């Protein structure tokens, strides 16, 4: 194929793409409809030229007949395209602000253009179907009509550029260059044809080059003049996929031409080299199309250059709702929220920080494609106060580059080693900071503007409402589980009272029948049965909380030694390692024993009779710390975050699921904090931290085994 063939194919694709950008809702926008029609006709003309070259190569009668039809379709489509460009220019002159064109003169120019277009088409049809010399005369009519049509277009372009004020000249500059150059080239072609009685074939092929070159000028003009197409909104998905298809087609055309020349100049190896080249080109195309980074760059480019707004809000909102509501994906709500908001900016991952009662800070509650990030933000911190009061979206890159941009705000220490961290988005619910999102840098670099911030604030509030409602539902569910447990405990108390009554009756009868051997045997059996019943009840109940607490200064080390000694006959035997001789606490002794006993019992059950349990006592930063370690099966992060401290959730068949929850509440009652460190398959460490009483003593390492 000739070079002109490829130029016309590329030009047809370019005008179709331009039409697709504008083609969705043209109702009420006359200028927009005229632009779309003109672009479609330009594409039709250039496609007809390309098809004509193909069928001429094939010398069959059918192909020659098709070529005859295309010889007519080619110039007719070109004439109609010129007509619609003239109508578009006339509409701008009549209705656009800032032009002083005479309405009567513009309408007269349009009428003249329509008459000349009819003459050009009539001359073309007569030239094709009438014999000489009539065909020669009509050929001159056709050339005259084409010259006059180009002249009308030039006059309208000149009036539009001249009558537009200097302050608005930049709006029409590229439109004038594009259409003015197109009409000027037409005038030159057909003026020469009128002079020499025939069209210069090379100049006619060059018309395709001119038409292709003005596409960027038209695109810039349409981008600057949103009002011309304000009623048209193209589907971004349609434009993106259309651009992908068109770009892929152009790529394959270019590769086909390159493959042809490789085969032609490759000699004996030409065919093999052509096959290898085609396969490599196809692999490269698939790789590029499937690349997330390249797709992100393409979306940013299309949004910047082909749309008045960066987002298709309907599509973004539907995608956001679908992602958040997709429970069957297996991800929890927090992870779905992170993913939904990250997808808006093409971010590859992110994390969600929410308020954690245990840590008394904002801690990571969910992440998507970001890994585990250890970082807490205390409620008294300046960063939390900033996000809560100002509700600003913070760019971490801008914060590092210009700290004065956000006075009083600095980068968290736990983010210093996170080069991918990009954006902090606060989540407000009922005027309260529920948490914040940390997003990774997007795949394609982008500058955020008011449109990004407005959209992020809107979806952030919507996401916060979902998370807030979930937290309220969970709190209600937890309260119901506690209520259920209280009812169960009431039943246990009732059973204990029944057994006490039975034992009291036995004691009262002992005064009268104590010497009777049969009574003695019944008494022993009844007491044994009562003890067994109470043991069964106590096995189902965790450490009982007393109503009245008496806080005193207690040394944690001897208390722990005493408890470990009592468990010496129970396997696994816990090992105590005290890293200080004294660890004084101000606490209730019974409460502290219940906490330590519960932690050791849980660790022993997790490790099993053949496992290992170690209790470590130490001090750090003014806190007395109890660490109970086991080598049991461990727990994953999701179970710890979602299930461990929720009442009613238990991994034991006979458990009430209240143990960990109750233990944490007991620790909090002593102004302490309970944290869990666990790795599946490697065991668990439960750490209880309490404020230490008095001055800290010098640490001394001591291993104690009961």
Give the pLDDT confidence score for residue 629 in this predicted structure: 94
For residues 526 and 559, state if they share a domain: no
- pLDDT reported for residue 595: 87
pLDDT score of 562 more than 80:
yes
Looking at residue 8, its pLDDT comes to: 86
pLDDT of residue 587: 87
In a 13 Å sphere around the CA of 325, the CA atoms on its Cβ side amount to 7
Contacts of 697 (CB under 8 A, 6+ apart): 580, 581, 582, 619
Tell me, yes or no, whether 223 and 325 share the same domain: no
Q: What is the pLDDT of residue 192?
A: 87
Q: Which two tokens stand for residue 494?
A: 């009732």
Contacts of 502-505 spanning 24+ positions with Cβ under 8 A: 502/526, 502/530, 503/527, 503/530
11 with 157, same domain? yes
Q: What is the pLDDT of residue 627?
A: 94
State pLDDT tens for residues 628-637. Answer: 999 999 888 8
Convert the pLDDT of each residue in 262-304 to its tens digit. Answer: 555 555 555 555 556 666 666 776 676 666 666 666 665 655 5
Q: Quick one: tokens of 76?
A: 């007719």
pLDDT value at 546 more than 60: no
Q: What is the pLDDT of residues 383-430, one digit of tens each?
A: 888 888 887 888 887 777 777 777 767 777 777 767 788 888 999 888
3-class secondary structure, 579: coil
Residue 547 covered by a domain? no
What are the contacts of 241-245 at 24+ separation with CB within 8 A? 242/16, 242/17, 242/20, 243/17, 243/298, 243/302, 244/289, 244/298
> Which residues are CB-contacts of 231 (< 8 A; sequence separation ≥ 6)?
25, 26, 27, 28, 29, 32
Burial of 668 (0-12, 13-18, 19+ CB in 10 A): middle
Higher pLDDT, 227 or 688: 688
Q: Quick check: is 283 in a domain?
A: yes
Cα 683 from Cα 661, distance rounded (Å) = 20
Band of residue 614 on the pLDDT scale cut at 50, 70, 90: very high
Structural domain includes residue 546: no
Which domain-ending residue is among 291, 308, 325? Answer: 308
Rounded to whole angstroms, the Cα distance separating 320 from 312 reads 12
Which of 211-220, 354-363, 665-674 is predicted least confidently?
Answer: 354-363
97 and 224: one domain? yes
Does residue 422 fall inside a structural domain?
yes
Are residue 74 and residue 125 in the same domain, yes or no?
Answer: yes
**CA–CA separation, 209 and 214 (whole Å):** 9
Where a domain ends, among 231, 258, 274?
231
100 shares its domain with 248: no
CATH of the domain at 463: 3.30.450.40
> pLDDT value at position 468?
87
The pair of three-digit structure tokens given for residue 271, joined into one six-digit string: 């065919």
pLDDT in tens, 103-155: 777 888 889 889 989 988 888 887 777 777 777 888 888 888 999 999 999 98
In the prediction, which pLDDT does 113 show? 87
* Least confident stretch, 51-60, 348-357, 523-532: 51-60
Residue 703 scores a pLDDT above 50: no
Q: How confident is the model at residue 692 (pLDDT cuts 50, 70, 90)?
A: confident
Contact of 557 with 581, CB cutoff 8 Å: yes
Higher pLDDT, 541 or 562: 562
Domain end point (choices 213, 231, 249): 231
Q: Look at residue 341 in the predicted model and tell me its pLDDT.
A: 92
Residue 544, in any domain of the structure? no
Summarize the confidence of residues 340-349 as an average pLDDT.
89
Tell me if residue 588 falls in helix, strand or coil.
Answer: coil
267-281, 609-623, 661-675: lowest mean pLDDT where? 267-281
User: Read out DSSP for 164-199?
Assistant: S-GGGHHHHHHHHHHHHHHHHHHHHHHHHHHHHTS-
**In this model, does residue 361 exceed pLDDT 60?**
yes
Instruction: Indicate whether 669 belongs to any domain.
Output: yes
- Listed residue (347, 529, 560) closest to 438, CA to CA: 347
d(CA 233, CA 228) in angstroms, rounded, equals 12
Q: What percent of the chain has pLDDT over 90?
A: 10
- The CATH number covering residue 640 comes to 3.30.565.10
Whether the predicted pLDDT of 626 surpasses 80: yes
Average pLDDT for residues 316-335, to the nearest whole number? 82
Structural domain harbouring 242? 235-308
For residue 350, tell me if it sits in a domain: yes
In terms of pLDDT, which residue wins out, 158 or 21? Answer: 158
Asked if pLDDT for residue 702 goes beyond 50, the answer is no
Residue 40 lies in a domain: yes
Domains in the chain: how many in total? 5
Cβ–Cβ contacts within 10 Å for residue 216, how many?
14
Confidence at 600, pLDDT banded by 50, 70, 90: confident
Q: Residue 431 burial (CB < 10 Å; 0-12/13-18/19+)?
A: exposed
CA distances from 40 to 32, 47, 246 (A): 12, 10, 15
Which candidate, 455, 454, 471, places its Cα nearest to that of 366? Answer: 471
Q: Distances from the Cα of 354 to the Cαs of 92, 200, 371, 412, 581, in angstroms?
A: 55, 74, 17, 16, 39
Q: Do 490 and 366 fall within a single domain? A: no
Same domain, yes or no, for 17 and 87? yes
Rounded average pLDDT over 311-331? 79
Distance between CA atoms of 323 and 315, rounded to whole angstroms? 12
Read off the pLDDT of each residue in 343-360 and give the average, rounded to a whole number.
Answer: 83
Residue 637 and residue 661 in one domain: yes
- What is the CA 273 to chain-centroid distance, rounded? 43
| Count of helices and strands (H, E) across the chain | 21, 14
Provide the mean pLDDT of the chain. 76
* Co-location of 142 and 205 in the same domain: yes
CA dihedral 411, 413, 419, 423 (to 10 degrees): -40
Higher per-residue pLDDT: 79 or 311: 79
Segment among 520-529, 543-552, 599-608 with least mean pLDDT: 543-552
> Do 210 and 181 form a contact (C-beta atoms < 8 A)?
yes
Give pLDDT, residue 450.
78
Within 413-541, residue ranges assigned H as helices are 450-513, 517-539
Same domain, 391 and 531: no
Do 645 and 663 belong together in one domain? yes
pTM of the model: 0.43
Q: Which band of pLDDT confidence, cut at 50, 70 and 90, is reported for residue 360?
A: confident
Cβ(576)–Cβ(706) under 8 Å?
A: yes
The pLDDT assigned to 697 comes to 36
């Amino acid at each position: 194929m000739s070079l002109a063939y490829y130029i016309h194919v590329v030009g047809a694709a370019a005008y179709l793409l331009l039409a697709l950008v504008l083609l969705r809702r043209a109702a009420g926008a006359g200028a927009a409809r005229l632009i779309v029609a003109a672009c479609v006709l330009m594409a039709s003309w250039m496609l007809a030229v390309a098809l004509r070259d193909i069928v001429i190569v094939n010398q069959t009668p059918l192909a020659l007949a098709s070529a005859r039809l295309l010889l007519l379709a080619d110039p007719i489509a070109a004439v109609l395209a010129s007509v619609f460009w003239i109508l578009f220019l006339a509409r701008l002159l009549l209705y656009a602000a800032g032009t002083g064109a005479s309405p009567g003169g513009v309408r007269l120019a349009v009428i003249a253009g329509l008459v000349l277009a009819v003459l050009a088409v009539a001359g073309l049809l007569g030239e094709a179907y009438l014999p000489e010399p009539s065909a020669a005369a009509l050929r001159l009519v056709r050339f005259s009509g084409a010259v006059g049509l180009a002249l009308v277009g030039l006059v309208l372009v000149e009036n539009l550029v001249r009558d537009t004020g200097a302050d608005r000249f930049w709006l029409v500059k590229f439109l004038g260059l594009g259409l003015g150059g197109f009409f000027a080239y037409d005038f030159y072609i057909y003026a020469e044809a009128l002079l020499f009685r025939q069209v210069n074939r090379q100049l006619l092929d060059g018309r395709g080059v001119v038409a292709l070159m003005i596409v960027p000028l038209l695109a810039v003009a349409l981008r600057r003049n949103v009002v011309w197409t304000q009623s048209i909104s193209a589907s971004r998905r349609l434009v993106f996929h259309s651009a992908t298809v068109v770009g892929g087609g152009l790529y394959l055309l270019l590769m086909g031409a390159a493959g042809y020349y490789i085969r032609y100049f490759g000699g004996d190896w030409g065919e093999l080299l052509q096959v290898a080249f085609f396969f490599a080109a196809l692999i490269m195309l698939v790789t590029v199309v499937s690349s997330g980074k390249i797709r992100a760059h393409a979306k940013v480019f299309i949004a910047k250059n082909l749309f008045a707004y960066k987002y298709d809000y309907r599509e973004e909102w539907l995608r956001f709702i679908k992602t958040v509501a997709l429970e069957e994906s297996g991800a929890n709500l927090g992870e779905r929220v992170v993913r939904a908001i990250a997808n808006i900016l093409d971010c590859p991952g992110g994390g969600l920080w929410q308020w954690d009662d245990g840590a008394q800070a904002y801690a990571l509650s969910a992440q998507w494609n970001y890994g585990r990030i250890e970082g807490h933000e205390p409620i008294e911190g300046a960063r939390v106060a900033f996000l809560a009061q100002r509700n600003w979206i913070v760019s971490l890159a801008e914060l590092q580059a210009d700290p004065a941009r956000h006075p009083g705000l600095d980068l968290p220490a736990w983010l210093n080693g996170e080069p991918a961290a990009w954006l902090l988005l606060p989540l407000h619910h009922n005027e309260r900071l529920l948490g914040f999102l940390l997003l990774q840098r997007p795949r394609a670099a982008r500058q955020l503007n008011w449109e990004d911030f407005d959209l992020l604030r809107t979806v952030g509030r919507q996401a916060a409402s979902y998370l807030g409602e979930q937290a309220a539902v969970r709190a209600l569910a937890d309260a119901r589980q506690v209520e259920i447990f209280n009812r169960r405990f009431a039943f246990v108390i009732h059973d204990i009272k029944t057994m006490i009554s039975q034992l009291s009756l036995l004691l009262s009868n002992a005064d009268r029948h104590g010497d009777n051997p049969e009574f003695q045997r019944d008494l022993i059996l009844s007491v044994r049965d009562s003890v067994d019943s109470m043991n069964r009840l106590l096995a189902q109940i965790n450490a009982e909380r007393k109503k009245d607490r008496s806080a005193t200064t207690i040394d944690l080390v001897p208390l722990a030694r005493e408890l470990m000694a009592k468990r010496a006959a129970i396997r696994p035997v816990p090992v105590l390692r005290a890293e200080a001789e004294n660890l004084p606490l101000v606490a209730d002794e019974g409460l502290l024993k219940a906490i330590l006993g519960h932690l050791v019992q849980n660790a022993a059950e997790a490790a099993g009779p053949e496992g290992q349990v170690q209790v470590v006592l130490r001090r750090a930063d003014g806190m007395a710390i109890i660490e109970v370690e086991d080598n049991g099966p461990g727990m994953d992060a999701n179970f710890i975050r979602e299930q461990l401290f929720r009442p009613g959730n238990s991994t034991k068949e006979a458990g009430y699921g209240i143990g960990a929850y109750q233990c944490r509440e007991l620790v909090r009652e002593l102004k302490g904090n309970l944290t869990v460190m666990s790795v599946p398959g490697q065991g668990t460490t439960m750490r209880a931290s309490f404020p230490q009483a008095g001055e800290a003593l010098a640490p001394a390492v001591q291993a104690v085994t009961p």
